[in-house]
Each structure stands twice: as structure tokens, then as C-alpha cells.
Structure 1
């Protein structure tokens, strides 16, 4: 095979690989902040919540008593995840990231430093889908108006590119 043909084939191969890499990077960049995937299973989430979350946030999502007052170690008690808490005030990206990374790391990722959070990260315990299933379960406890408000917050995150 002549040298010119080899260089042409090699050049086409390199351009093809570069194009695939650019395409993959663009798709990743366009993926945006995490958002509740379709098909999340609130029933599976209820079981996972009982196993991983209820010990702090309560079997009925009620949180710890006096959850707005700081403990002696500077952390706040676990808040409720039902309609009496503030979980529904946050979009999907924050809820997912807070659960996956833990409170301190999630807040530091948004530029908030020095916050002493008692929320551990669950990245080594739960898969992404399991976290989404738990969040789907929690959302089932909210009245329609709160779910709608939370969806608006999620849309705002998507528009701003929060993660």
C-alpha cells in the first residue's frame, strides 16, 4: 500500500476517534445536573430508606426532635423528610448530591465551606439508582403542591447548571 494511502487512512482514523471523543464530551457536558430518572422505584426506595436512612431521619420521615437547633458538636439533627421538613425546598441535584457525597462535601462543591454537617455520604453504600429510589419514596410523602414546588426548583437547577 502506498505511503499516501496509509497516511490518508491513518488521518481518517484519528479524525474519527477525535470526533467520537468530542461527541462524547459534548453529550456529557449537556447532561446537566442530576435529575430524578424516569422509572425510579419508590417501593424499592421505601425498603432502602428503612435500611439506610430511618435510623437518623425516622421511620416515618419525621426527623430528629428539635431538628433546627444545633447539637453540642455543631451539627444539626437530622431533619424530617416529610412535609414538615425542608427537603422539598431543594431540587433533585442538591438532594442527590447531598445524599451521595454527604452534607459537607456536597456543600463544599457548591462553594459553601466550613459547614459542619452530620450527613454522611452514601456513595460507597448505595448505587446512584438506589439513591434515586429513596428520593422517589420520600417524594411520595409530600402533598401535590410541595412536589410541584420541588419540581420547579429542579427545573431551576437544570437551567443554571447546578450540580
Structure 2
């Protein structure tokens, strides 16, 4: 099973309601938090680190982009929220044994701040990408 499929089926945590990228106040707040907490790894323009699909010498993957070129939009909101709050957790939001440099932000950011960051990220996606990500989120919520 691929990593994306693993995340989709493994995360059964309570999920936030659909994160709204059209809430301008939330997006502005999220952009400021992203700049301070996420951009160092994921890039000021959400571009990710160079060669993000190629493993580093330590076996881990560089930080992926969060723009439409990355895979962030392939995941439902609940998975994205869990990844930011708890980091990549082997056996839960990542395959067993998987190691990542993604930190858990749950002790640094409130749930509302995490939602704001995700609203900001989603606000940068084109409408077709937003529509597909919304469908994935709604499908998971029905399960």
C-alpha cells in the first residue's frame, strides 16, 4: 500500500469540519503562523525542499511542497490536521517504521491555529485541486 493510501485508511481520529480556505481572517492568521512555523522547511512559497521525492543520506525525505505540485492536497483535512498536530506517526499517519523530520506542533500551536495554517495552505490551491481535496475529505467523513 502506498503512503497516501496508508494515510487515507489509517487515520480514524475525530476530524475537524471541512477547513474553509475562503475564510479571509483565518487565512491571514494562518499565513502568519505558516511563515513563523512552517516556511523554514516547506518554503516561503510552499515550494518544499529541493528534490523532495529523493531520500536524504539518513533515509528520510525532505519536506514536501504544499502547493499544487505536492501531494498535500491528496489528503483529507483530518489527516492534514493530524500530521501537523502530531507529526508523522509510524503506524498511524505513516507506514510502520517510517521516520520523518516532521515535528509535532500540538504543543506549540492550538487546534485553531493548526486549522488556520491549513486554511492558508488550501487558499493557495487552484479551484480544481480544492474540489478534489474536498471530495477526499467528504469521502473520509462518510466512513
Distance 1:34 1:108, change over 3 A: farther
Which residue matches 1:48?
33
- Structure 1 residue 120 corresponds to structure 2 residue 88: no
Q: Which runs of 5+ in 1 are unaligned?
A: 1-30
Structure 2 portions without partners, runs of 5+ = 1-12
RMSD of aligned residue pairs (Cα, Å): 1.8
Secondary structure in 2 aligned to 1:41? Answer: helix
When residues 126 and 150 of structure 1 are mapped into structure 2, their CA distance, relative to the original with a 3 A threshold, is same
**TM-score calculated relative to the size of structure 2:** 0.83
Aligned to 2:127: 144
In structure 2, what is the Cα distance between the partners aligned to 1:123 and 1:101? 6
The residue number in structure 2 matching 1:24 is none
Between structure 1 and structure 2, the one with the greater Rg is: 1
Partner secondary structure for residue 81 of structure 1: coil
Change (3 A) 1:58 1:34: same
Which residue pairs with 2:17 in the alignment? Answer: 35
> Residue 154 of structure 1: which of 126, 130, 137 is its match?
137
Task: Number of aligned residue pairs: give it.
Answer: 128
Candidates 69, 77, 83, aligned match of 1:84: 69
- The 2-side partners of 1:111 and 1:77 are apart by 15
CA distance in 2, matches of 1:111, 1:44: 28
Question: How many Å apart are 1:32 and its aligned residue?
Answer: 4.3
Q: Deviations over 1:101-137 (max 9, x none)?
A: 001x2x4225731111111100010000000000000
Aligned residue for 1:134?
117
Superposition TM-score, scaled by structure 1 size: 0.73
Change in CA separation of 1:62 and 1:34 when aligned onto 2, cut-off 3 Å: same
CA contact (8 A) 2:86 2:106 kept: yes
Aligned match of 2:4 = none
- Check the 8 A contact 1:33/1:157 in 2, yes or no: no
1:67-89 CA distance string (max 9 Å, x none) = 00001111100000011111111
Residue pair 1:41, 1:137 contacting (<8 A) in 2 also? yes
